[in-house]
Structure 1
């Protein structure tokens, strides 16, 4: 009897191990492959950041190890508090032509995989250290307002990205695009070292969508587009339409207390005046006879 129970338990366990669900879950758990790494500087000249991700899921917890070297010296790496797959690195030297070696390793219980990313920067004679990874964040606080008494203008203002630390020494240029919602084609304006622009060719009465991008004046790439804002040019207030003319207007009167109706037998004012005139005429005739 006990042997039968052991055989039954063993058969049950074997059936569980070979069940489709168990086999599928076991097959889905895989070791990591090389992560994809990108690095760019949005805080030049203070430093840069790198981010990474796996192209294929592993279905089990996977951690990442990050090491950065510059001129064969290890650099301090600070993990981002918000984005778990991002780290920040400070530039050790402002004027240096040595590449930065970024090593990112994905690790889980089934294995590990690494990739080395070389962040190559270039030395610019007039401005110092630059590279294709210099990419600012988008402009911030974009506002578009109509211009009073002008049906074809929109006033657009914005702020430089707050992450760009020294806009005075390393100024930015901006790329403005706008279009009415009724059309798909954008209009573009490139602006140098300015944080405002007046659109002068807007369609009257049409709602517009507006975005901006930022870029270092000399080297690097354009930022992503800013959050889109909407605005409509100024429109004249419609005048009220009246349905009557002045001659048709009946003046309003304030009702007063009703006048007392004359009593029967009581002479009116006109009658009293006539009676007094008759008596006066008769008196004049009598005096003339005498």
Structure 2
């Protein structure tokens, strides 16, 4: 049987994927202790202690609602883990803008353009978790490459949820992904699910030869 152990310093992460509604924090232990552990999280904004509502699933996550937007006061989040053999804690300090990171764009579609052997039409949707794209618009980053090459090409788009690639190699299959970011604050999302598409190619003309009549 593995030996029971006191907890090592927990790993804590906080992120806002639904700005300006709030943020969530999640945590885990770097190694198991093999005995029951209890976790306590404290969120302080200036002098105010805030409630972090625990999720039912996953159990190692809780949500904080923003009460005061555009605040320059930092948040301080401390996670303490305790078991029968000891306890350990870790603290994060950040401002509300630094942890803004949208989820990836959704429903990415890439299609050939009829009669255009070098074009691909790409479209996508805002992440459904982003609550107010009118007031807090997203910008997008598109990357694409033919499967035969390792080098990505990139396009940054300040608005809109579509783009036409005009420099594709004719007849080559492409892999395409999109990322999102708030126009002004935070960091880029992870890449979307990859989609594949091949530019339009002209159907070969079948040569017909009339049978010679003898």
TM range (shorter): over 0.9
**Residue of 222, 225, 238 corresponding to 2:191:** 225
Which structure has the highest helix share of the two? 1
The structure with the larger Rg is: 1
Query: Matches of residues 12-27 of structure 1 in structure 2 within 5 Å?
Result: 25=2
Q: Is the 8 A contact 1:39 1:119 kept in 2?
A: no
Q: Could you report, residue by residue, the CA deviation over 1:168-218 in whole angstroms, capped at 9, with x for unpaired residues?
A: 111111000000000000000000111000000111111100011111111
Task: Give the Cα–Cα distance (whole angstroms) in 2 for the partners of residues 58 and 102 of structure 1.
Answer: 23
Partner of 1:144: 110
**Residue of 188, 191, 210 corresponding to 1:245:** 210
Partner of 1:98: 73
Task: Give the Cα–Cα distance (whole angstroms) in 1 for the partners of residues 57 and 134 of structure 2.
Answer: 29
Task: Give the Cα–Cα distance (whole angstroms) in 1 for the partners of residues 192 and 202 of structure 2.
Answer: 30
Question: What is the CA distance between 1:247 and its match in structure 2?
Answer: 4.3
Structure 2 SS opposite 1:97: coil
Change (3 A) 1:146 1:49: same
Partner of 1:37: 12
Partner of 1:114: 89
Q: Which runs of 4+ in 1 moved over 3 A?
A: none
Task: Give the Cα–Cα distance (whole angstroms) in 2 for the partners of residues 133 and 233 of structure 1.
Answer: 38
Question: What is the CA distance between 1:33 and its match in structure 2?
Answer: 1.6
Tell me the TM-score normalized by structure 1: 0.69
Q: Which runs of 5+ in 2 are unaligned?
A: none
Partner of 1:126: none
Partner of 1:185: 151
Change (3 A) 1:232 1:81: farther
Say what the alpha-carbon RMSD is for the aligned residues: 1.7
**Residue of 125, 129, 133 corresponding to 2:99:** 133
Structure 2 SS opposite 1:222: coil
Q: Could you report, residue by residue, the CA deviation over 1:1-37 in whole angstroms, capped at 9, with x for unpaired residues?
A: xxxxxxxxxxxxxxxxxxxxx6xx3xx3211022121
Tell me the TM-score normalized by structure 2: 0.93
Structure 1 SS opposite 2:107: strand
Task: Give the Cα–Cα distance (whole angstroms) in 2 for the partners of residues 225 and 81 of structure 1.
Answer: 27
Of structures 1 and 2, the one with the larger relative CO (CA 8 A, separation 6+) is: 2
Q: Is the 8 A contact 1:45 1:94 kept in 2?
A: yes
